[in-house]
Amino acid sequence: DDDDDDDDRRNRVDDINAFQVGDFVEIEGRQRDTDGGYLEAFTIEREDDDDDDDDDFELQARLSGIGSNSITIMNLEILFGAFDVSSVSVGDEVEVEYRATNGGLYELTESLDN
């Protein structure tokens, strides 16, 4: 029914317009290499402030680089510090938990899961 489709579209627009700066969200999507590269979002969900007590971020994607002190995932460089990354290789799908440092960099907070 066309009316149901219009209602669904309106509901999605209302949901997106309800987001505010500072909201924590979970985004599920796919990294695309066309048109200069972008992240295509499939789902976006608001996270409750009570869901997570820390300031860590999570990301699951393919590892695109390993340096002497950092890894790169989706063009984001993350310092690995004391964590061992020898069990992963470029191209592996990994899940990382990381946080921002005072210096504006990012660092792992847990070992890589692959």
What percent of the chain shows pLDDT beyond 70? 86
Q: pLDDT, tens digit, for every residue of 24-39?
A: 888 888 888 888 878 8
Q: What is the pLDDT of residue 113?
A: 74
What percent of the chain shows pLDDT beyond 90? 39
Query: Can you give the pTM of this predicted structure?
Result: 0.69
CA angle 16, 36, 69 (to 5 degrees): 95
> pLDDT grade, residue 41 (50/70/90)?
confident
Q: What is the pLDDT of residue 105?
A: 95
Can you tell me the distance from the alpha carbon of 94 to that of 26, in angstroms, rounded to the nearest whole number?
17
Domains of the chain: which residue ranges? 1-52, 54-114
In the CATH hierarchy, which fold is given to the domain comprising 54-114? OB fold (Dihydrolipoamide Acetyltransferase, E2P) (2.40.50)
